Amino acid sequence: MTDKFSSTKFLVMCGLVLFAAFARFIPHPPNFAPIAAMALFGGAYFSNKKLAFIVPFAALFLSDLVIGLYEGIWVVYISFALVVLIGMTLKNRIKIGNVAVASITASAAFFVITNFGVWAMGILYPKTAEGLIACYTAAIPFFHNTLLGDLFYTGVLFGVYEVVKVKFPVLAEAKNS
């Protein structure tokens, strides 16, 4: 396959990740966001492992610059990196069921990691077992939106990309970036 098609495929994949990052600016319920979808998509479709991290991280960071940097951002980025790795497990196994399980796993990982980080920073909850339980308990109402947002945006990114590959089969055959 020529470099032209590989470049086009790369641009389509980057465009979808940037579209998802832009979706963070659209008014939405708390935690109904495309963050995990961007990471899963990057991990699943970029065969170059560096790009699988760089493209989604760059989109996340650029959108964070606009939205505003926040305390504990490092915890979100750690969970984001784990979600890219989860996406990498989808390589050559992209089926609706596998993608749905990966999305749910990403939601759960984000919930566990970020809420542990909130507790560990000791700003809102005491660093005790009771504080940890209180932190996770307070976060439960937000998990619903996280799960729905992850499933929605993952479906959109993976779905649109698969439709593009059907409409333009030469992109499906192009070497992955």
> Which of 47, 60, 69, 49 lies closest to 17 in space, CA to CA?
60
User: Containing domain of residue 54, as a range?
Assistant: 3-173
Contact between 150 and 100 (Cβ < 8 Å): no
Top-confidence residue, 122 or 2: 122
Question: How large is the average pLDDT for residues 150-164?
Answer: 97
Residue 127 to residue 38: CA distance in whole angstroms: 32
Number of structural domains found in the chain: 1
Q: Report the pLDDT value the prediction gives residue 175, as an integer from 0 to 100.
A: 67
Contact between 109 and 79 (Cβ < 8 Å): yes
Q: Report the pLDDT value the prediction gives residue 127, as an integer from 0 to 100.
A: 96
Q: Report the pLDDT value the prediction gives residue 172, as an integer from 0 to 100.
A: 77
Residue 71 to residue 61: CA distance in whole angstroms: 14
Q: pLDDT by residue (tens digit) across 32-81? A: 999 999 999 999 999 999 999 999 999 999 999 999 999 889 999 999 99
Q: Report the pLDDT value the prediction gives residue 173, as an integer from 0 to 100.
A: 74
Contact between 57 and 80 (Cβ < 8 Å): yes
Residue 151 belongs to domain with CATH number:
1.10.1760
Q: pLDDT by residue (tens digit) across 6-39? A: 888 999 999 999 999 999 999 999 999 999 999 9
Contact between 7 and 171 (Cβ < 8 Å): no
Question: How large is the average pLDDT for residues 109-118?
Answer: 97
pLDDT band at 1; cut points 50, 70, 90:
very low
Residue 171, C-beta contacts closer than 8 angstroms, at least 6 positions apart: 5, 8, 9, 12, 164, 165
> Which of 112, 107, 117, 110 lies closest to 147 in space, CA to CA?
107
Residue 151 has pLDDT above 60, yes or no: yes
Residue 156, C-beta contacts closer than 8 angstroms, at least 6 positions apart: 20, 37
Residue 83 has pLDDT above 50, yes or no: yes
